[in-house]
Structure 1
């Protein structure tokens, strides 16, 4: 299962995003990928180290609204292997 995170401030580096997500998710984060860092369309996906689909939903709910560099993140769960286009934030 994957979690997609967007509305990430473009001022955050790829490492900033990785560090934040690793801190927040701990052992649940199997792999973290950050795309388009430094641009208004930056987003991240996290492959979870969990088999149960509901874990991704719970993690997405926990991440949704957390603040990174003063900006509330948005997150949603996506089935493993599915990479839909990340919704774009209007205020970023």
Structure 2
């Protein structure tokens, strides 16, 4: 199961994003990939380590709006059973 996190501040490095997500998600964060860091379109894909398919949805709901660098993050779960790469979040101009 995967979640996608976007609206990451441009000022955050890849390591800062990884550390924050790892700390906040704890044992649920299996793998964290950060893309386009340092840009207004930075986002992260997180593999969620859980046995039940609804866990990613609950994590996304609870995590949505958490602040990173004073900016509220946006989070959504990738639909259960989707073997595809998570979609790229909306781009900011």
Fold agreement, TM-score > 0.5: yes
Q: Does the aligned pair in 2 maintain the 1:6–1:42 contact within 8 Å?
A: yes
Post-superposition offset of 1:89:
5.1
SS in 1 for 2:33: strand
1:44 aligns with 2:47: no
- Aligned partner of 1:84 among 66, 71, 87: 87
Superposed displacement of residue 26, structure 1:
0.6
Secondary structure of 1:17's counterpart equals: helix
Contact 1:5–1:43 (CA under 8 A) maintained in structure 2: yes
Partner of 1:33: 33
Distance 1:34 1:81 in 2: 19
What 5-or-longer segments of structure 1 have no aligned partner?
none
Q: Report the Cα distance in structure 2 between the residues aligned to 1:57 and 1:89, rounded to whole angstroms.
A: 24
Q: Equivalent residues in 2 for 1:3-82 (5 A)?
A: 3-79=3-79, 80-82=82-84
- Aligned-residue RMSD, C-alpha: 1.4
CA distance in 2, matches of 1:87, 1:81: 21
Query: How many residues get paired?
Result: 90
Aligned residue for 1:61, secondary structure, equals helix
Larger relative contact order (C-alpha < 8 A, sep ≥ 6)? Answer: 1
